[in-house]
Structure 1
Amino acid sequence: MNATTEIIVNKKLYNATDFYVGLGLAISSCGFIGASFIIKKKALIRLQRYGALRASSGGFGYLKEWVWWVGLLSMGIGEASNFAAYMFAPASLVTQLGALSVLISAVLASKYLDERLNLLGKIGCLLCILGSTILVLHAPKEEEIRTLNELLDKIKNPGFIVYVLVIIICSLLIIFHFGPVCGKQNIIVYICLCSSIGSLTVMSCKGLGLAIKETINGFNGFSNWLTWFFLFSVILCISVQMNYLNRSLDLFETTIVTPIYYVFFTTLVIIASAILFREWENMSAEDILGSFCGFFIVIIAIFLLNAFKELDIHYGNISHILQPKRELIRNNTQWTIKNEETLITRTGIELEHTYRTQPLLRNF
């Protein structure tokens, strides 16, 4: 084995190690972030009982609630793990694995917030896991940008500049116009704001990750002005996200906010990542198709998890398909007779009630 071959092998091993480290960090972050939604929702419910000004009305009473700070700590740990994951794995993979936080949030909400998780919701949880597995198998395994200088050249791309300007204009319109007008009635308004700002947060986190990796490798990444620009962007974007995400959680149910936020946020991050990092250029057609299929499976899973959650659907509703035909006919006949008897009894009660309350009809 010559020197060139050894370098290529070591590079592949390094990329594989980075990929799995980022994968593990991304999965662990989903647990903390999913739990944080539930904890913060519990804190907001406690505030409503005390009669404090709600977060949706611009109140900041949750800052005095220790349960909310526990939720914030959980989200902080999750976001830190998520940030570390962006240092090692492609942004498109880390972001799409956020679906696992939706699953964890739905399961915990059914246990601690008394929100419904029926049979279709459980099927959605299973599909969410399967879709995430497909995403992992077909995701890009290595980075296209390795230094801040390369990233700076990518940022100058007119397509990415246009994307950032569109996001900033839309965010300002929501903050100063659409939010006060229809933010309390339409869940999409604040979710769009959080998702669009979040896509810029991811890009900034990726830049900070590159700066930290350069510093670890012996180059002082923090001597570059771009690093501090990314740091300022992360702080500003996360502050806006937290404020308006709290308003959404206060106004709407957690099991609605979380999945819609995931779909919008992931879609915008995929678009931003495709424009800036171009992680898809060196992927095969099979991996691109597999990634899109995994993403759509996750979206279907989230739809099943939330669209029918108010319906009382359980295994008993489909258990009849395992019964023989004769048994099924006999059960249907008994069901028909029972319902006819109920109808006759109910009709008799209504007639008796009419007879007692309307003496004129009785005399007639």
Structure 2
Amino acid sequence: MGISTDNVNGLLLAISSSIFIGSSFIIKKKGLKRAGNTGHGAAAGGHGYLLEPWWWIGMLTMIVGEIANFAAYAFAPAILVTPLGALSIIFSAVLAHFILKERLHIFGMLGCLLCVVGSTTIVLHAPHERNIHSVKEVWELATEPAFLVYISIVVILVSVLIFRYVPRYGQTHMIVYIGICSLMGSLTVMSVKAVGIALKLSFEGANQFKYFQTWIFTLVVIGCCLLQINYLNKALDTFNTAVVSPVYYVMFTTFTIIASVIMFKDWDTQNASQIASELCGFVTILSGTFLLHKTKDMGSKPETPYESPNRASNLSHS
């Protein structure tokens, strides 16, 4: 299956996006840590990070990455663009190791590598972008029964997480914050893709901003992004960046692919072999993330409980 010009453009934009976004995790975390040392951190409900230059630099870096990501969705299907977020795992995990001193074990590095291998497999078998000539076509896809059911499920799950589980388990279970970000993220991507297509068609001469559907998609993007930023800040301020980044990536990718398959019917033009390859690639990503998560603390514990033979021998003769 050849790669179209639009897919290549989307690929390049997605790679540059991952570089900026991966770096932004570390820069923002540095600002959050500084804010936590001077007052209430984001995890405790404080907003002192808004006075930290490092946090704003991180936000600007993330905005640049998101703009590139935004443009990528206008050219390529979500199944191709979203998995490339694995590169942001590499950048954030490695930078966290050297800058934030959050040690990344060798098995964590292997986990990152598996994420990249899985993403590459998905990219090589990604479908071509669907030909859309008006934002009204996207609106019709978004208002089909199957996708409306998906939206309803997401809204219910996010509401339960925010009002029931955040107060009880937000500080101890990373999955609560990341679950909110990932579920809303899937709706964000679908709306971003709609607005991106509207911009692309408008630049080509067919103004799409005269349709109310374009503005509805724009409002959804803004609302979902604000919610994601809030809970992602809480996750970063509470848990290890080297773990938050890949787990968020996997959950976000999972829900985004599901949403894209339901809304844009990406798999309708593919055969069983291509779909199976994409699923195998995704399982590889999950395996890499699981390995990174389970080995995040290996080698970071103090050495005193595990005395060397020489020290034990010295103590026995003292």
TM-score relative to the length of structure 2: 0.92
Contact 1:263 1:299 in 2 (8 A): yes
Indicate the SS of the match to 1:142: coil
1:66-85 alignment to 2 at 5 Å? 66-85=53-72
Partner of 1:284: 271
Equivalent position to 1:42, from 16, 30, 39: 30
Shift of 1:103: 1.3
Distance 2:273 2:120 in 1: 15
Paired with 2:289 and 2:90, the residues of 1 have a C-alpha distance of 8
> Could you list the runs of 5+ residues in structure 1 that have no partner in the other structure?
1-11, 314-337, 350-364
The offset of 1:145, in angstroms, is 4.0
Deviations 1:210-258 (A, max 9, x none): 2112212221100011000011000110000001110111111111211
| Equivalent residue, structure 2, for 1:21 | 9
* In 2: Cα distance, 1:148 partner to 1:283 partner: 24
Give the match for residue 119 of structure 1: 106
1:192 to 166, 179, 183: 179
The higher radius of gyration belongs to 1
2:316 pairs with 347, 351, 363, which one? Answer: 347
- Counterpart of 1:174 in structure 2 is 161
Residue in structure 2 matched with residue 319 of structure 1 by the alignment: none
Answer with 153-162 or 303-312: which moved more.
303-312
When residues 345 and 216 of structure 1 are mapped into structure 2, their CA distance, relative to the original with a 3 A threshold, is: closer
CA contact (8 A) 1:55 1:62 kept: yes
* Contact 2:79/2:122 (8 A) holds in 1: no
Q: What does residue 190 of structure 2 align with?
A: 203
The answer to whether the Cα contact below 8 Å between 1:31 and 1:78 also exists between their aligned partners in 2 is: yes
| Residue from 95, 120, 129 that aligns with 2:116 | 129
1:253-264 aligned at under 5 Å gives the runs 253-264=240-251
Q: What displacement does 1:174 show?
A: 2.1
Say if 1:86 and 1:94, in contact at 8 Å, map to a contact too: yes
Equivalents in 2 of 1:342, 1:175: separation in Å? 51
Q: Which residue of 2 aligns with 1:300?
A: 287
| Offset at residue 163 of structure 1 (A) | 0.8
Aligned partners of 1:144 and 1:279 also within 8 Å: no
CA displacement, residues 40-82 of structure 1 (integer Å, 9 cap, x when unaligned)? 10011111222x1111121111111111000000000000000
Q: How far apart, in 2, do the equivalents of 1:302 and 1:174 lie?
A: 23
Cα distance in 1, alignment partners of residues 100 and 215 from structure 2: 41
Q: Structure 2: 5+ residue runs without aligned partners?
A: 301-307
Aligned residues of 1:40 and 1:68 also touching (Cα < 8 A): yes
Select 2:80's aligned residue among 84, 90, 93.
93
Instruction: Give the SS at the match of 2:25.
Output: helix
Query: Using the alignment, how far apart are the partners of 2:52 and 2:102 within structure 1?
Result: 23
Distance 1:310 1:182 in 2: 21
Q: Which amino acid aligns with 1:117?
A: L
Counterpart in 2 of 1:153? 140
Q: TM-score, normalised by structure 1?
A: 0.81
1:144 Cα deviation after fit: 5.2
Q: Does the 8 Å contact 1:140/1:280 carry over to 2?
A: yes
8 Å CA contact 1:39, 1:67 repeated in 2: yes
Letter in 2 for 1:251: T
Q: Does 1:227 align with 2:196?
A: no
Other-structure match for 2:44? 57
